Amino acid sequence: MKKGITCFLLTITAALLCSISANAQPKPRFHVLALYENGGHHIEYSKAAKIWLNKLAADSGFTIDYITDTKTINDSTLAQYQLFLQLDFVPYGWTATAQQAFTQYIERGKGGWVGFHHASLLGEFDGYPMWPWFHQFIGGIRFKNYIASFAQADVQVEDKQHPVMRGVPPVFPINKDEWYTYDTTPRPNVHVIACVDEKSYKPSSNIVMGDHPVIWTNEHVAARNIYIFMGHSPDLFDNAAYTTIFRNAIFWAVER
């Protein structure tokens, strides 16, 4: 009788353990907060980015949450995330609390940062003043002009050894973007990873800088960070070089 009860209990215990094991979810590798524009002419890029990011997160074992304004950004919110993505979101109009929390997040290396496209729209826009700290963080540049009619161009990798460029060809095409110009090159203040070849513009344009970085990192702050200019068209997610850079940037920036 005792032997039968023991076998029964062992069977129940094994079944429970199997059930727990089957239902247990693996611990996420890290958590990402993505701030993105939910309107305007960049909305299609944001939609495509979310689809691509959600698949990457599911396949790679991390979580990603999305917000469309800075009202919820504070120290306690950012403490939950190891990476902050600024998807086509401008560096102005942030709440004072969000500015303070983000500044500490970057300066103290509490998490990584990857910014795209609109993140370098520095200046006085929409009635808001320039954010001085972000101006320095992004390289001391101010938006000057852009190719409103768009242009195709070749991007040339300068730092081929940087982890974000792993698996990326030394020159790769971008079929459509606005190619912002700034009042000065960020090069003296940042580490440049890639530049656009302005001579490759199709159609050609006289809206040029000469030295025209489009991917760079600020090595003067504690957080790993990288700015990637390209981020206007949803077609970018059909570009293997671009998605490789995006993927590499996430996993590089989240490392301590």
What SS3 state is found at 65? strand
Residues of the chain with pLDDT > 90, as a percent, come to: 86
Residue 1 lies in a domain: no
> Which amino acid would we find at residue 184?
T
Of 31, 70, 61, 67, the residue nearest 46 (C-alpha): 67
pLDDT tens digits, 209-233: 999 999 999 999 999 999 999 999 9
In sequence order, the β-bridge partners of residue 125 are 128
Range of the domain at 204: 28-253
CB < 8 Å & 24+ apart, contacts of 51-56: 51/237, 52/237, 52/243, 52/246, 53/85, 56/247, 56/250
Residues 43-81: tens digit of each pLDDT: 899 999 999 999 999 999 999 999 999 999 999 999 999
CA dihedral angle for residue 149, residue 154, residue 157, residue 158, rounded to 10 degrees: -80
- Residue 22 within a domain: no
Residue 20 lies in a domain: no
pTM score: 0.89
CATH of residue 95's domain is 3.40.50.880
Q: What is the pLDDT of residue 101?
A: 98
How many structural domains are present in the chain? 1
